[in-house]
Amino acid sequence: MSAVEKLPQQKIMPFALRPLQEADTAQAAEIERDAFPTLFPPTPFRRELRNRMASYLVATRR
């Protein structure tokens, strides 16, 4: 057995992650309502974009 083993070939993920942008906030709010219908109050995504302590990611299809 050699010191370097070949890893199995990995498939590329069918999605990519990127930071949430202001243009995404309406759809993010809609997804949140569908996923958590009893959540009150809803997350203020536009305000959260200015929150330096928060980080939101968006998954998009490649």
Residue range(s) defining the domain that contains residue 49? 15-61
pLDDT over 90 at 36, yes or no:
yes
Q: Does position 51 have pLDDT exceeding 90, yes or no?
A: yes
Mean pLDDT of 1-20: 79
Give the CA angle between residues 42, 46, 50 to the nearest 5°: 120
The answer as to whether 51 is a domain residue is: yes
Evaluate whether residue 29 is within a structural domain: yes
Q: Is the pTM of this model over 0.85?
A: no
Over the chain, what is the mean pLDDT? Answer: 90
CA distances from 41 to 18, 37, 45, 49 (A): 25, 10, 12, 17
Please give the tally of structural domains in the chain.
Answer: 1
pLDDT band at 7 (very low <50, low <70, confident <90, very high): low
Residue 2 lies in a domain: no
